[in-house]
Amino acid sequence: MSLETIAIVGVTEQEAEQLRVDARLAAILAPLGHAALGARLAVSDQNGPKGGVAIRCAIDASVARRAPIHVDARARSVRAAVTGAVNRFERRVRHELRRVRDGRRRPRKYFVAAVANGGGRRS
CATH at 35:
3.30.160.100
- Please report whether residue 122 resides in a domain: no
Q: For residue 86, what pLDDT is reported?
A: 95
Q: What is the pLDDT of residue 30?
A: 92
100 found inside a domain: yes
Q: Is 25 a domain residue?
A: yes
Residue 3: the pLDDT is 42
Q: What's the pTM value of the predicted model, to 2 decimals?
A: 0.78
Parts of the chain with a pLDDT under 70: 1-4, 51, 107, 119-123
Q: What is the pLDDT of residue 113?
A: 77
Q: Looking at the 3D structure of the chain, how many domains does it have?
A: 1
Q: Please give the order of strands across the beta sheet that includes 36-45.
A: 6-9, 36-45, 55-63, 69-75
Among residues of the chain, what percentage have pLDDT more than 90? Answer: 45
Residue 80 lies in domain: 3-115
Give the pLDDT confidence score for residue 1 in this predicted structure. 46
Is residue 20 domain-resident?
Answer: yes
